[in-house]
Amino acid sequence: MNTDHIVQTFIEYFQQRGHRRITGSSLLPPPGDPVLFTTSGMHPLTPYLEGEPHPLGRRLVNVQRCLRTTDLDEVGDDTHLTVFEMLGTWSLGDYDHSQSLRWGYDLLVDGYGIEPGRLHATVFGGDGQLGPDTDSLHLWQERGVPVELTRDENWWNNGPTGPCGPDSEIFMWTGDTPPRSTPTRDDRWVEVWNHVLMRYRRDEDGTLHPLPQSNIDTGLGLERLSTLLQGKKSVYDCDLFQPWMRTVPPLWCLDEPSLRLVCDHLRSSVAVLGDGVMPSNTGRGYVPRRLTRRLLTTLWRHDPSRTLGDVPLELLEHTLDHFHQSVDVSTVREILLDEERRFTHLLERGRRILAKPRFNSTLTDADYLYLHDTHGLPRELVTSLRTELAGDPAPTPGTDLAQPTPTASCE
Ligand code: SER
């Protein structure tokens, strides 16, 4: 089942159950939302979860692009991407959690053909303030799906304040041998779908208040689902990444972790620029800057003559088209090349400055502050350059600057 078919099946299934499709909006959350980027499908819906009537009614469905930088160090594994898409459904004070879980289970098993024996659920087991989510527990028990009760892992919130509540997550088994453990103990259980009972709001002082209505907010990672349904091991092997995996390896010879990081960070940078964010040293703009610097660091570790100018315009265009972004592709390319030039200059300046005897010994916080404020050298970069100048190997992709690592076997 290709990704377009997966999306269509999802949307139609919920439309047949009274949901109206809303357009998946940009990576920028609405004003007043506490996060810099949309990290989950519910962001554009915050006012409606808090009680404002939605013009399309109480049952909604969509596909929303999201960005998470909290998982940046996990990018390169089989399941994490910086920019990803989330299939989502909402009940704004309409049906209950059990109904949402029933539909979720039926769609996975009957709609997508997943064997019930490959599913596991987790459920909120209660904490000092709230009791366990027994409705969800019973629902899973009735279906014969094994359940693990947790506390923090089954509580969802959107930053420190705002709508929140207990959730029940559905996991799918990806191991080659039958499972022997639970989702929190074995990461071969991959989380596919989270169903949140969003019935509280957390205030600045940490207190929970009931929302005017009890909502359901669900989110299912599209690339992960495609990967699982297509029988692939990593998200980079699913159909969505085929243009990347066809284009990038002939361009630059990279080992697998570097290839994954380069594809993820370049694709994510294009999506962020496509939503109109300009690179800068602070706030939102620091995200595309950091992503391009991490990817250039990885590229240059193998060969410093590599440039983003090598990337065919079609690949950038394919990404903008995929995310339905109307920014001109040559503008995106120019911004990327400008970031590359800035980074080149910064590295040259950094190497010159850090070679001075004053910076030979251990750096103090005051040194880092001076290097940042006077020379524009962030701490992370100073650390990498010092490693490079000392000639120490630093093999983590994206963090070191010019150390050789085992190269890929390319023709
Ligand atoms: N908000 C929940 C999540 O991000 C469900 O959409 O997992």
Cα(178) to centroid(ligand 1), Å = 28
Q: Which atom of ligand 1 is nearest to the CA of 158?
A: 1
pLDDT at 228: 96
For 348, counting Cβ atoms within 10 Å of its Cβ (0-12 exposed, 13-18 middle, 19+ buried), the class is exposed
Tokens of 325: 């972004």
Q: How far is CA 403 from the centre of its chain?
A: 28
pTM comes to: 0.88
The preferred substitution site among 42, 45, 190 for testing ligand 1, maximizing ligand atoms within 8 Å of CB, is: 42
pLDDT of residue 389: 83
Q: Count CB-CB contacts under 10 A for residue 150.
A: 15
For the chain, list residues with pLDDT below 70.
24, 71, 392-411
Strand segments, DSSP code E, in 1-154 are: 20-21, 59-67, 83-91, 119-124, 147-150
* Helices 256-274, 329-354: inter-axial angle, 10-degree rounding: 120
Out of 156, 171, 224, mutate this one to test ligand 1's pocket (max ligand atoms within 8 Å of CB): namely 156
Per-residue confidence (pLDDT) for residue 408, from 0 to 100: 58
* pLDDT (0 to 100) of residue 285: 95
pLDDT of residue 170: 98
350 CA distance to ligand 1 middle (Å): 41
Which H/E stretch holds residue 167?
Answer: strand 162-173
Rounded to the nearest whole angstrom, what is the distance from the C-alpha of residue 169 to the centroid of ligand 1?
Answer: 10
pLDDT of residue 76: 82
Residues near ligand 1 with C-beta < 6 Å?
A: 40-42, 88, 156, 194, 196, 217-219
- Find the 177 Cα to ligand 1 centroid distance in Å: 30
Amino acid at 15: Q
DSSP 341-410: HHHHHHHHHHHHHHTSGGGSSPPPHHHHHHHHHHH---HHHHHHHHHHHHT----STTT-SS---PPP--
